[in-house]
Structure 1
Amino acid sequence: MTGRPVGPACHDRSLLTEHDVYLFSEGTWLRAYEKMGAHPCVLDGEEGVYFAVWAPNAERVSVVGDFNDWTPGKHPLCPRGSSGIWEGFIPGLGPGARYKYHLVSRYHGYQVFKADPYGFRHECPPGTASIVWDLTYEWQDGDWMRRRGRANALDAPMQIYEVHLGSWMRVPEEGNRWLTYREIAPKLAEHVQRMGFTHVEFLPVMEHPFYGSWGYQITGYFAPTARYGTPQDFMALVDALHQQGIGVILDWVPSHFPTDEHGLVFFDGTHLYEHADPRKGFHPDWHTAIFNYGRNEVRTFLLSSAMFWLDRYHADGLRVDAVASMLYLDYSRGPGEWIPNEYGGRENLEAIAFLRRLNEEIYRYYPDVQTIAEESTAWPMVSRPTYLGGLGFGLKWDMGWMHDTLLYFSRDPIYRKYHHHELTFRMLYAFTENFVLPLSHDEVVHGKGSLIAKMPGDDWQKFANLRLLYGYQYTQPGKKLLFMGAELAQWREWDHETSLDWHLLEYAPHRGVQRWLADLNRLACREPALHERDVWPDGFEWIDCNDAENSVLVYLRKSCDPADTLLIVCNFTPVPRQNYRVGAPAPGFWRELLNSDAREYGGSGWGNLGGVETVPVPWHGRPYSLVLTLPPLAILIFKRATEGSVR
C-alpha cells in the first residue's frame, strides 16, 4: 500500500471503526451502506461529505466531481490500512453534488472513472455520475409495518401484481413520457386496490444504464433509478401503497451485473467484484459479469444491498432473480466451459453458502417479510429452512406449473384430452416447496405473444379460455402472480417503450376479464380455502382428475375449517355439459360462488341458477353427488351453504 497522499481529503476524520473494517473484510457487515459510499455529515465540527470506497488494487484514488471540475488528484482519498478501503472527508460539500471516483490501478497504469458502488443516487442515464444524497424521509406507513407480518404469512392471501414502472402508464400528450414515482403512486395504489391484488412486485428499480434490460442489469445496487425521480420520490410510492394496505416486493439481482465501464466490472484494474476466469465470471446468455461469491467483501456488498432495501425503503419482500444461474457452475455452459467445484460437482458451493446466509440474515432481522426465488430447476428444498439443508427462501416460483399450464391452454380443445397430464402432473410435487404460480413478464415478450394471444379458437373462445386460465390459477394451491396487462386481456405483447393498452377497457369483453379477475382476487382474500393451506397438502383434494375424455377436472380446496371447503369444476372444452355428475364431500345445498361463463364477465350465461342440492347417489367414492351444468371453457366454484346462510 502506498503512503498517505497529501490533500484536503486526507484527514484523520473517519466514520469507519476498526470493527467495521473487520466485519467488512470478514464478509459479515450487513449494513456497510451506512458508512461506505458518500455520507453528508459533521466531523470535528465541520460539515462536509465522507467518502469510502473499496479498491484494494488501486495505486491512487481521488474523488472528482462538479465541485472540482472533474479533475483527478484534487481530492485524494487515503488507504485504510491493508483493508483495501480508501476514505476521506471533503469539507463544504453537501447533498446534490455530482461525483465519481478516479482510480489509478497499480497494474499496467490502468486509470478509470467509476460511479460509487454504494451510491444512494445516480444521474439519470445516459449520465453515469453518482450524486451525494441524504435519505431522510418521514414515513407514514406505521400501521402497515406493524401488521404486515400477517399479510405476508404463508397462510395469508397473496395475489401479486407485477409492474414495470416505465410502461405501466404513460402520458401520450407529452411525448409518451413515463410517469414519475409520485405521479404513479396514487394511480397505481387505486388500481391495485380496486382490482383486489394484495401485493405489487416491481421489476428492478435499482439504477441500470440500459432501459431495455428492464432493470435486470444493475449498476446501482443502493439507488432507485433516477428515470422516475429521487430516492424520496420512490419512498413516497412505497409509502402510498402501504397506506392502502398493499405490500411491496422488489426484484433484486445478485446473479450478474453489466460490463459498463463506470460500473462494478474491472473496478480497480482487476476483477474485483467478478471472477477473473470467464468460465466462472462471465455469463454467456446475458454477456454480463458474475459476482465472486467467495470473496468476503463482495458478500458484504450484496448482503448490505439486500438489507438496504428492507431498512431504508420498507420493502416487504425480495424476489431474487435467476437463482438457477447462481446454483449451477455449468449453467448455460457446454463441456470444457465451466470449472467443477472442489468435489468435482457442478454445484456452486460459494453461491449456495451466500444464498443461505442471505436468507438467514433477512429472516433474522425481518421475520415479517418474504424472500422469493426465481428458480427454474428441480433443486431440492429451495423454500425450506437452512437448518434442514434448504436454501432458506420463503417462496419459490413454480416455473413447471407455468410451462405446463400455458402449453396445455395453447392447444386446441379437441386435442386437450390427450394432454390431460399437463394439468394433473403438478400435484405430484405441489407441496415440495412453498410455491408462487407466476404468469410473469417473461411469458409475454420475445415473440411469445400475450396471454390472450396464446389462447386457441375464435375471439369468444380466446376470452373464455383466458378467464378459465385465471380461474384455474387462482384455485390451485400456491400464491399468485400476474404481470400488468393481464387484467386488460391485452392483445399485444408487452412493449417496455409504450403504455399498457388501457383503451381496451372501452370494450365489453376486456371489461369482463377485468371484472372476473377482480372478483377472483376478492374471493381469494375472502375464502380461507383459497389461501390458508396453500403450501400444505391438506389444502387440496382431488374429486376426479381422470376425466380426460371430457377434459374436466374436479377438486376441493380446503382450510382448517371443513365448513369453508370449496368445490371447483373446470371444463376445458367449448362443449357445454349438462347433467354432469360429481361427487360431493358433504350433503346440502352448494352455492355457485363464481362462474367464469356468467354474462357479466363476457360469457354465454350457462350455469346452475345460483346453486345445486346434493342427491344421495354415490359418485367418485362419496355418498352424495351433484348434478351440474358445466358451461363451455369455464370454471365453477361452489361452497356448501351452512345453516342460517342465504341460499
Structure 2
Amino acid sequence: MSSSLLPSTHLLLSSKDRISPFSGQSPLKNLGSSSARALSTRQWKWRCHSSDQEQPPKQKQQRKKPPRRSPTKKSEPNADPVGFLSKKGISDRAFAQFLRERHKAYKDRKFELFSRFIDLKEASAGYEILGMHRHREHRVDYMEWAPGARYCALLGDFNDWSPTENSAREGHLGHDDFGYWFIILEDKLRDGEEPEEYYFQEYNYVDDYDKGDNGINAEELLKKINDEYWEPGEIWPLNSRLELAAKLYEQMFGPNGPQSEEELGEIPDAETRYKEWKETQKNGSDNNLPNYEVIDDGRKFDICSVISDPVTQEKFRAKKPPLAYWIEMRKGRKAWLKKYMPAISHGSRYRVYFNTPDGALERVPAWATYVLPDGNKPYAVYWEPPPEDIYKWKNKHPEVPKSLRIYECHVGISGSEPKISSFKEFTSKVLPHVKNAGYNVIQLIGVIEHKDYSSVGYKVTNFFAVSSRFGTPEDFKCLVDEAHGLGILVFLDIVHSYASADELVGLSLFDGSNDCFFHTGKRGHHKYWGTRLFKYGDVDVLHFLLSNLKWWVTEYQVDGFQFHSLSSMMYTHNGFATFTGEMEEYCNQYVDKDALIYLILANEMLHELHPNIITIAEDASFYPGLCESTTQGGLGFDYCVNFSVSEMWLWLLENVPDQNWSMNKIVSVLVSNQQSSNNMLLYAENHNQSISGGRSFSEILFNRASEQLIGSDDIVFKGSSLHKMIKLITFTISGRAYLNFMGNEFGHPYKVEFPMTSNNYSYTYANRRWDLLTEKGVHSDLFNFDKDMMRLDENEQILLRGLSNVHHVNDSSMVISYIRGPLLFMFNFHPETSYQAYRIGVEEAGEYQIIFNTDEISYGGQGELKSDQYLRRTSTKRSDGCRNSLEVALPCRSAQVGIQIGANFENVNGAATCNSLIINLGLLMEIGMRLTILGAFKDCISSACNGAAVMLVFEGF
C-alpha cells in the first residue's frame, strides 16, 4: 500500500508500483494475484485491525548492544529450584542436585521455545493458525505439521477426493524448514461474477452486512483517509521521496544540469548555489518543503544510514493511527455468498494426504476440531456452522469455590437407557441432579475424541475434537454454559501422558515417520497399555500440547483440568515400579526430565493466562513438589489426588471382614501426607473402582449378584452403614477437595462395563440407574445422606479447615474421634457394640450439640439416639490427653458430628462461631434432625449471639 497511508505496514512494492493514490492509478490494482497472495500470507498471525499493527520502533541511540539475556530471567526474579525442600523438611542432596539440573534444563528449554515464539501465550496459540480456518479474504487456510512428508494435499467431498487438486505449493510458499505445510482453498466465483478489484477485499462471515456494503469507492476512501491523517504539505514529500529529492535539487541548484557546453561555464558551482538558496529560505517560504541542512562529512549515505529527524518522528508518533482501509471496505456475509461458492462447506468430510519416503498416506488432521472416528475410513469434518447455529454464550464463569466438591461423570453412560447418552441429555437431566446433590464441580471423562469407546475415553485420538458420539461442538458449549449458569465449574480429565496408537485416526506414524509426535523404539510405547508416549523435549510437540490446553479453555470455557496418569509420563517405567518413598526413586535414571519440564510449562501457561484455572495432578507415586510453586522447584499444580485412600477401602471391603478392621491402620492411611493436606483431593471411590473387572463399593457391601438383594435386611443395613461411614470419614478427616463418581452418591448397585467383544458389545452396564432415586429404599436414603453431607460442608466449610487433630483411635472399641476446626467427629465402626456413655477427650469445656448423625432414619439408619442425647456437657475428667471429656452415645456402625455451643472459635473467614452456630441451626431445620431446645440451651445462645438473630433462628423452628 502507499507509504502515505500506513508508515508501519510492512508492504514492499517495486519502484514501478510506488505510485501516489492521487495519480489516477492505485498500486493495489497493479499487484498480480499471486504477488498479492504471497504478501498476504507471509505472516502467520493476520493483522486485520489498526490496533493490531506493529508500531514503528523507537529511535535507538548508537551505543553498545548489551548481551542477549535468557527470556526466563525476567519472569523468575526470585526462582529457587530447591525452595520447597526446606518447607517440606527434605534434606536429600541427590534430589536437590536433580532439581537444580532440571531447572537449568527448564531454562534451556524455555529459551529454545522462545526462539520460535514470543512468549507462552503465542506458544500455546497454535490452534489459531494450524488446522483449517476461514480467512477473511474469501478463502480457507489449512496448516499442518508433518516434517517427514514430501508432499501435502487436502482431499474430501469438496474436490472429489483428489490428492492433486488442493496441494501445498512448492518451496517456502508451501512449507517451511520446521515441517509446517500451508494450503489455500480459494472460494469459487459464481457464474457471471467478476474477480475482486482489490486483492485485500475482506468479508465478514457472521453479519449479513458490513461497512463495505454501502457502495464505498476505494479511491475516495483512500483520499479521505489521507485527508484526515495528513496535514497540508506532509503527504506530498512522504508520498514520493524521489520527487522530493528532485524538487529540492532543482530549487537549490537550478535546472537539472546545463543544456549546452557553453552554459556550463556560466552556472555557479553547487556550493555557491546552495548558499544562495539557503539565504532565500531565511525570510520564510511558502513551498512547504522541509528545512533540511546539507552536511558533507565525507561519508557515503545510503538507505541503511539515513537518520530520521527526531522532531518529525515524534510528530508522527503522536498522530492517531489512520483508519484501517481493509475494515472500512469489509463486506458482509450476503455479499460473500452472492459472489462466491465456499471452497469447502460446513459439514464437509476431509482428510490430509501425504507423500512420504515410504509411500502415500491419508490421515485425519492432527488439529481437526470435529471427527467421525468410527467406520473403516474415519474423517475430519469441517465445522463452520452458519451464524444462526453458532452457540451464543449466556453465562459467566462462576466464582472459584474455596473448597471443591467434584462430581466425576461420563456423558456416554449418564442415561438410564442402555445406549450412548448425549450432551443434550446430560445437560437437561444430569446437571440439575448435580446441583441438587450439592456438588460445585463436574469433572468430565471421555469428552475428547477417541476411537475406542471401551477405553472410557483415555486412548485419545483427536486432541482438539469433542467426541462426536455425544453430539456437536455447539452441544458441548451449551453443556458448559448451562453448568456455569447453575454455579458449577467444569473440569476435563485431560490425557497428555500418552495417546492412542491408532494410525488411521490418531497421531501414531502421522507423517510416515516414527518420531513425529512420539519417541522412537520402546521408549515411545507404553509398556502395558499399548499406547504411544509423547516426545516432550521437542518444541513442536510442546507447541501442540500447550495449544491443546489453551484450546479447551478458550473455545469451550472449561475451568480446569485433571492431568491423567502422570506416572506414565514422568517415568520411563511408566509408573509400574514399587515406590517406597525413598527420594532416590524421584531422581534416578528412570525419571523423564522432559516430561516434568512440560508439566511446569503447562502450569505456568495456564495460571499466567487464566489465573482462575484449576489444575489437578493424578500421580500414584506422590512425586515431591507436585503442588509447590514452579518458582520454588515445584510443578505448579493446585491439587493432587491421593490414591491410597480408595485403594485401602477397596482392599478392606474385598479381603477383611469389617469386625477385623484396624482403626490405627485406617487412620494412618487417611492422614498420610498431612503436609500436603491443603492441596489433597480425596475420594472413597471414583470410576476406577467400578470399571470393567471391578465392583462398586455398594455392589460389594450389598452383595448384589442380580436384580434382587441376596440376604436379609441386616445385610442392607450393614452395607448402608459402612457406605455412609466410609464416605464421611474420607470426606472430613483430611484434604481440601472431594470427588464422587456419578451414581455412587446413591450407592449405584452395578459396575460399569462398556460395550466390547467380551460382552457382545452390550450396553447393559453402560448406564446409570437413576430410577432407583424415585423408589423409597436404601438408594434414596443414601442419596439423602450424601446430599446433606455436601450441605454440611457448604455451611461449615469443613474442607477449608486446617489439619484435623486425631486424638482418639481405639482398635478394641473400634472408635475414632478427631477435631477439625470447631467440629467434633466421632465414628464407631464396631459391627455389634453400641456405647451409651463412651468417653472422648476434648480441649474446650462446654456443651456440644450433635448436628449430623449417620444413624438418622431418613438416611436408612435405626434412629437409636434419643432426643436428650443430641446435647452433651463436658466434664473435667481428663481423657485422650485433653483437659476435658464428653460422654457420648455411639450406636454401632454409626458416626456423629458435633459442635461446641457458644465457643469462641474462629472460622475460616475470621468471624466468630456465633455466626456459624446460626447456620448450624438452619442446617438442623433443613435435614430434619430431632432437636429438643432446652431453656438453658436457648439462654446460652442468647448470651453468645445477637439477640435479634437468635430470635429469627428460633422463629424458624
Structure 1-normalised TM-score?
0.88
Question: Take 1:624 and 1:15, find their aligned partners in 2: how far apart are those partners?
Answer: 79
More strand by share: 1
Letter in 2 for 1:17: Q
Is the aligned partner of 1:159 residue 2:408?
Answer: no
* Counterpart residue number, 2:489: 247
* Counterpart residue number, 1:4: none
Equivalent of 2:727 in 456, 470, 476: 470
Equivalent of 2:769 in 496, 501, 504: 501
Contact 2:854 2:895 (C-alpha < 8 Å) held by counterparts: yes
134 and 16 in structure 1: CA distance in 2 versus 1, 3 angstrom threshold: farther
Is the aligned partner of 1:236 residue 2:499?
Answer: no
428 and 181 in structure 1: CA distance in 2 versus 1, 3 angstrom threshold: closer
Is the aligned partner of 1:453 residue 2:699?
Answer: yes
Letter in 2 for 1:38: M
| 1:511 match: secondary structure | helix
* Counterpart residue number, 1:111: 360
462 and 334 in structure 1: CA distance in 2 versus 1, 3 angstrom threshold: closer
Question: Take 1:13 and 1:137, find their aligned partners in 2: how far apart are those partners?
Answer: 34
Gaps of 5+ in 2: 1-32, 47-111, 187-342, 579-583, 703-713, 755-762, 903-940, 943-949
Aligned residues: 605
State the Cα deviation string for residues 205-260 of structure 1 (Å, max 9, x = none): 11111111111111111111111111111000000111000111101000111122
State the Cα deviation string for residues 378-400 of structure 1 (Å, max 9, x = none): 31111111111111111010011
| 1:401 match: secondary structure | helix
Question: Take 2:513 and 2:140, find their aligned partners in 1: how far apart are those partners?
Answer: 27
* Counterpart residue number, 1:386: 630
Is the aligned partner of 1:524 residue 2:793?
Answer: yes
Structure with max Cα Rg: 2
Alignment of 1:60-71 (within 5 A): 60-71=151-162
* Counterpart residue number, 1:400: 644
* Counterpart residue number, 1:148: 399
Question: Take 1:138 and 1:549, find their aligned partners in 2: how far apart are those partners?
Answer: 61
State the Cα deviation string for residues 83-104 of structure 1 (Å, max 9, x = none): 2111121122243221110111
* Counterpart residue number, 2:391: 137
Question: Take 1:55 and 1:447, find their aligned partners in 2: how far apart are those partners?
Answer: 40
* Counterpart residue number, 1:580: 838
Is the aligned partner of 1:441 residue 2:536?
Answer: no
| 1:227 match: secondary structure | coil
Question: Take 1:614 and 1:552, find their aligned partners in 2: how far apart are those partners?
Answer: 19
Shift of residue 131, structure 1, vs aligned partner: 1.4
Question: Take 2:849 and 2:39, find their aligned partners in 1: how far apart are those partners?
Answer: 73
* Counterpart residue number, 2:877: 617
Question: Take 1:429 and 1:487, find their aligned partners in 2: how far apart are those partners?
Answer: 26
**Structure 1 stretch displaced more, 269-278 or 234-243:** 269-278
* Counterpart residue number, 2:804: 540
124 and 267 in structure 1: CA distance in 2 versus 1, 3 angstrom threshold: closer
608 and 582 in structure 1: CA distance in 2 versus 1, 3 angstrom threshold: farther
Alignment of 1:481-496 (within 5 A): 481-496=739-754
Contact 2:168 2:175 (C-alpha < 8 Å) held by counterparts: no
Shift of residue 42, structure 1, vs aligned partner: 2.1
268 and 12 in structure 1: CA distance in 2 versus 1, 3 angstrom threshold: same
Equivalent of 1:102 in 339, 350, 353: 353
Contact 2:354 2:361 (C-alpha < 8 Å) held by counterparts: yes
Is the aligned partner of 1:415 residue 2:664?
Answer: no
Question: Take 1:431 and 1:73, find their aligned partners in 2: how far apart are those partners?
Answer: 62
Contact 2:153 2:183 (C-alpha < 8 Å) held by counterparts: no
Question: Take 2:650 and 2:42, find their aligned partners in 1: how far apart are those partners?
Answer: 53
* Counterpart residue number, 2:333: none
* Counterpart residue number, 1:562: none
Letter in 2 for 1:552: V
| 1:531 match: secondary structure | helix
Letter in 2 for 1:218: V
Contact 2:148 2:516 (C-alpha < 8 Å) held by counterparts: no
492 and 63 in structure 1: CA distance in 2 versus 1, 3 angstrom threshold: same
Question: Take 2:566 and 2:477, find their aligned partners in 1: how far apart are those partners?
Answer: 27
Is the aligned partner of 1:121 residue 2:396?
Answer: no
State the Cα deviation string for residues 457-502 of structure 1 (Å, max 9, x = none): 8222011110111111221221100111102212211233332122
Question: Take 1:483 and 1:428, find their aligned partners in 2: how far apart are those partners?
Answer: 23
Shift of residue 516, structure 1, vs aligned partner: 0.2
* Counterpart residue number, 1:59: 150
More helix by share: 2
Equivalent of 2:819 in 556, 581, 598: 556
**Structure 1 stretch displaced more, 274-283 or 574-583:** 274-283
Is the aligned partner of 1:17 residue 2:43?
Answer: yes
Alignment of 1:252-401 (within 5 A): 252-262=494-504, 263-331=506-574, 345-401=589-645
Contact 1:613 1:626 (C-alpha < 8 Å) held by counterparts: yes
Shift of residue 23, structure 1, vs aligned partner: 6.3
State the Cα deviation string for residues 286-343 of structure 1 (Å, max 9, x = none): 10111110111001000000111111111111000010111111226799xxxx99x9
Contact 2:45 2:129 (C-alpha < 8 Å) held by counterparts: no
Alignment of 1:606-645 (within 5 A): 606-607=864-865, 609=867, 610-642=870-902, 643-644=941-942
Contact 1:13 1:89 (C-alpha < 8 Å) held by counterparts: no
Question: Take 1:303 and 1:576, find their aligned partners in 2: how far apart are those partners?
Answer: 56
* Aligned Cα root-mean-square deviation (Å): 2.6
Structure 2-normalised TM-score?
0.60
State the Cα deviation string for residues 592-631 of structure 1 (Å, max 9, x = none): 1111111111011122533322223222222222111112
State the Cα deviation string for residues 92-128 of structure 1 (Å, max 9, x = none): 22432211101111x23x2211111111111253362
Question: Take 2:812 and 2:571, find their aligned partners in 1: how far apart are those partners?
Answer: 41
**Structure 1 stretch displaced more, 322-331 or 427-436:** 427-436
Contact 2:155 2:166 (C-alpha < 8 Å) held by counterparts: yes
Which 4+ runs in 1 deviate beyond 6 A?
A: 19-24
Contact 2:350 2:382 (C-alpha < 8 Å) held by counterparts: yes
Question: Take 1:219 and 1:351, find their aligned partners in 2: how far apart are those partners?
Answer: 20
